[in-house]
Chains A and B, each alone.
Chain A
Amino acid sequence: MTARGRAGGGFSVEQPLWRAVSAFRLLTLLYAVGTYPRLAGHYQDRTAGWVYLGLLAAWTFATVRPFSSKLRCGWGWLYTDLAAVVAGILLTRVFDSHAGVLQGDPTLPTIRAAGAVLGFAVMGGWLPAAVSGLAVGLADIVEAGGVTASDLHNIVLLMLAGVAIGYVIEVARASELTLARALEIQAVTRERERLARDIHDGVLQVLAMVQRRGSEAGGEAAELGRMAGEQERALRALIAEGLAPNPSYVAPVVRRRSRSGPDAATAGPGADRSDLDRSDLDPSGAGSDGGAAEQDLRSLIAPLAGARVTVSAPGTPVLLPGHAVRELGAAVGAALDNVRRHAGEQAQAWILVEDEPDEVVVSIRDDGPGFDAAARLGEAEREGRLGVSQSIRGRLRDLGGSADLFSAPGQGTEIELRVPRGAAGAAAGTAAVPGPRTAGSPVAGPGTNQPSREGSAG
């Protein structure tokens, strides 16, 4: 990772900063050399001053390359650079006349000292910058023989600049690392998805083959085949689920619209009802409950598919508010339990999900013996055996929908669950719905539309 981070400096925001440091060192050197002749009059040892500046210039020009990028620069260069300017500051006291020092003459390296501090900032961040700034500052104080106001001022400015630049470089480095990691994860994910698709396809093929051959061979192999078939369906449902658009992409938009009732979601069924009523009065549809982020109903229904359950659904997401999806999913689960209980373990079941402009319809059919609707349903409901009245019908009623049970002789039993779009919450956001609440009174609508299918259920 270190190597990558260093190499990352090559194309990053860091590289321009190094170039800036390099340029800053050169320019400040020129400034120092340019300033010296004006002050040389104060000096008791002018030649020594020139010698120092000559050495500093040679050093600065010689180190242009190391200081131009992080790859070439090491701590050794930085320490040497710092030592060079600190020495220059201290030598000012030796070479300059006492009067000149007291008068506050600039030091020999002048602002070239800041170049060293910037090097530390860009290399190591704010802490090395602060420490090196402090070193330069202490040298200044020693040179002046005490703390003067202008010195203090300069020291604070130098440290501030160093710390600020050091901090910026740390932030830049961190965000660059994050970006690199994100790109890496993205690439890995894409590759994994590609691999998964191939692997899944292969596994599906083999499982399907085992099932087919197993059931033909009979006996123990048939049992193996059945298990393979179950796994195949489960895997296929999983893949289908993974390929469906992630509901969380839809969620934030819808959630923002419906944040007005955050307490209603947690306040139990009673509060739910009153909230539902409120949202019916609210023409904007924004007053629905807090858990109303839209979800794809298929993601809950598809996993129900198995050896004895076939799921049919549209190829596009069937969006309903989250709580409606959960309730509807639970109702479908209850209906499947009913199939097992009353039509037998061996009965086949078919689930059909339909996405109509004003309602979502889920039908569950089994191939059991069925019953004569008019004669049996009333009795069955009295006995509570079908369980339709409680867990299924109740849930649907809470969603403003309906549950109808009917049966044709010899064609099993069918239960049809209808959830109107408007009443269940903020479904108005989907493109498939031309007008949010065009259907007059959605709560009363579906129930009265289905009198012939009601039997004695009402």
Chain B
Amino acid sequence: MSSDEQAIRVMVVDDHPMWREAVARDLADAGYDVVATAGDGQEAVRRAPAASAHVVVLDLNLPDLPGVEVCRRLMRHSSPPRVLVLSASGEHADVLEAVKSGATGYLVKSASRAELLDAVRRTAEGDPVFTPGLAGLVLGEYRRLAAAPAPADARTPAAPQLTERETEVLRLVAKGLSYKQIADRLVLSHRTVQNHVQNTLGKLQLHNRVELVRYAIERGLDDGR
């Protein structure tokens, strides 16, 4: 019932068949086009290019590859999908890593069907899906980066920093306010709040990419000589 041209193409990656099917069914019922499902990380990475999904709903706890690694590999494609992490585990370090390596949303599995559908729609639109928990993690990550000792050599990129406004917005997200409530409180437009939230993620992901490239170059040079 779902293959009109406007339908959002979704791929569901979860090692629990029960969950995979339930999520896929919910999405299909709501008019999304579930183009592929995968039960492990290798399969997900293999099938993603052909499926050319707009959104990959990714469980981080997979039997073969860590979910974070799957996310990283998905991001390597020329037109990478947007990744929404849907995780039952409380392993926050993983969630943060996934987000740093390109995932733009995070939802716990206990979220309701409506929340899931909404999150997929927003992810497809390029809107970051923040839970208060994720906002707390991102805030903590910025502070951790800021507190780390200053880089010794000039090639090391400086730690990304949040503007005052971005910090303010992120804190309010972490305290459970909706974008609309935040917009009301700070007298901003809804769109501006969204942009601020998006920027907080963007800077973190950019920093992560720069770090990875630098690491790769260093390793490459070391190996070559």
Contacts and interface: CB of A to CB of B under 8 A. Distances in A.
Interface of A: 200-202, 204-209, 211-213, 215-216, 229, 232-233, 236-237, 239-240, 243, 310-316, 348, 350, 352-357, 363, 365, 367, 408, 410-411, 414, 431-432, 434
Given A209-B19, A352-B175, A357-B147, A204 B137 contact: no
Name B's interface SS.
helix
Nearest to A241: B90
B144 A316 contact: yes
B18 interface: yes
Interface of B: 16, 18-19, 22, 61, 88-93, 96, 108-113, 131-137, 139-141, 143-144, 146-147, 171, 174-177, 181, 184-185
A312 B143 contact: no
A353 B175 CA distance: 10
A50 to B, nearest CB: 75
Contacts, number: 124
Given A355-B143, A365-B175, A365-B176, A205 B92 contact: no
A206 B131 CA distance: 21
Nearest to B63: A198
A348 B89 contact: no
24 contacts: A201-B89, A204-B89, A205-B16, A208-B88, A209-B18, A211-B110, A212-B112, A229-B110, A233-B110, A236-B88, A236-B89, A236-B90, A240-B90, A312-B132, A312-B135, A312-B137, A315-B144, A316-B144, A348-B176, A354-B140, A354-B171, A355-B140, A408-B185, A432-B147
Contacts of A315: 92-93, 96, 137, 140-141, 144
Nearest to B89: A201
A434 B146 CA distance: 11
Nearest to B88: A204
A215 B132 contact: no
A144 B215 CA distance: 84
Contacts of B113: 212, 216
B174 A352 contact: yes
Contact of B174 (A209, A215, A232, A350): A350
B22 A209 contact: yes
A201 B88 contact: yes
A30 B140 CA distance: 77
Contacts of B135: 312
Given A205-B19, A236-B89, 18 more contacts: A201-B61, A205-B88, A205-B109, A209-B22, A209-B109, A310-B176, A313-B137, A313-B140, A315-B93, A315-B137, A315-B140, A316-B140, A350-B175, A354-B136, A354-B140, A355-B143, A357-B146, A363-B175
A198 B112 CA distance: 24
A354 B135 CA distance: 11
Nearest to A357: B147
